[in-house]
């Protein structure tokens, strides 16, 4: 896994060493308004999670787990982007950014950079993302990135909650 550089951002492959800085990002209560998970209980817990993610592959080897922390070069962490590459040419993507950095284009730039890398390095041509129905900011981001809401036919076989939408590109 390699670091990615965009016009204004550096995407570093996630390691255990990022746990302290990411704990600060993930302690931002505002980001959990539209996430179905809780903030990490401790830095130690986050280190254990990141230790598993450093494997970069699922235990059965069927998926690539790709996670990058996002920062302004030489600056603090803004958030993270991630992809789970599965069946040839497909990937689930996600992103989380501190609310202190919302509205500045960082999520768009970082996610676009990750998508370009996934296409070039992993041959990904189909991207999937879920978003909560009320998360208008994330829906707008996905639409700016060229994603469209999945049709009922395209949603078949995906186990989504009643409050989630599936977007595809």
Label residue 55 exposed, middle or buried (CB < 10 Å: 0-12, 13-18, 19+).
Answer: exposed
**Which pLDDT score is estimated for 157?**
83
Instruction: Kindly state whether residue 134 falls inside one of the protein's structural domains.
Output: no
Instruction: Kindly state whether residue 106 falls inside one of the protein's structural domains.
Output: yes
Instruction: Kindly state whether residue 169 falls inside one of the protein's structural domains.
Output: no
In 3-state terms the chain splits into helix, strand, coil percentages (rounded to 5) of 35, 30, 35
Instruction: Kindly state whether residue 69 falls inside one of the protein's structural domains.
Output: yes
**Which pLDDT score is estimated for 37?**
85
**CATH code assigned at 19:** 3.40.630.30
Instruction: Kindly state whether residue 11 falls inside one of the protein's structural domains.
Output: yes
**Which pLDDT score is estimated for 27?**
92
- The pLDDT tens digits for 2-45 are 999 999 999 999 999 999 999 999 999 999 988 888 899 999 99
Full domain range(s) for residue 107: 4-127
Q: Confidence band (pLDDT; 50, 70, 90) for 96?
A: very high
Question: Given phi > 0 = left and psi -120 to 50 = alpha, else beta, which region is 108?
Answer: alpha
**Which pLDDT score is estimated for 152?**
86
- The pLDDT tens digits for 74-94 are 898 999 999 999 988 999 999
Q: Region 131-147: what's the mean pLDDT?
A: 95
How many domains are contained in the chain? 1
Calpha distance 34→30 (Å, rounded)? 9
pLDDT at residue 161 tops 90: no
Instruction: Kindly state whether residue 118 falls inside one of the protein's structural domains.
Output: yes
**Which pLDDT score is estimated for 169?**
95
């Amino acid at each position: 896994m390699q670091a990615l550089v965009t016009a204004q951002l550096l995407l570093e492959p996630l390691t255990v060493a990022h746990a302290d800085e990411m704990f600060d990002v993930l302690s931002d209560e505002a980001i959990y308004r539209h996430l179905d998970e809780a903030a990490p209980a401790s830095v130690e817990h986050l280190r254990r999670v990141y230790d598993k993610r450093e494997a970069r592959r699922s235990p059965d080897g069927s998926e690539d787990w790709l996670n990058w922390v996002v920062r302004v070069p030489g600056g603090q962490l803004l958030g993270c982007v991630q992809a789970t590459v599965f069946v040839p040419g497909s990937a689930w993507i996600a992103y989380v950014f501190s609310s202190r950095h919302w509205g500045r284009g960082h999520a768009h730039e970082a996610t676009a950079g990750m998508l370009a890398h996934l296409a070039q390095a992993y041959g990904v041509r189909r991207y999937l993302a879920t978003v909560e129905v009320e998360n208008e900011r994330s829906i707008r981001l996905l639409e700016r990135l060229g994603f469209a809401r999945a049709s009922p036919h395209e949603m078949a076989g995906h186990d989504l909650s009643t409050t989630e939408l599936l977007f595809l590109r």
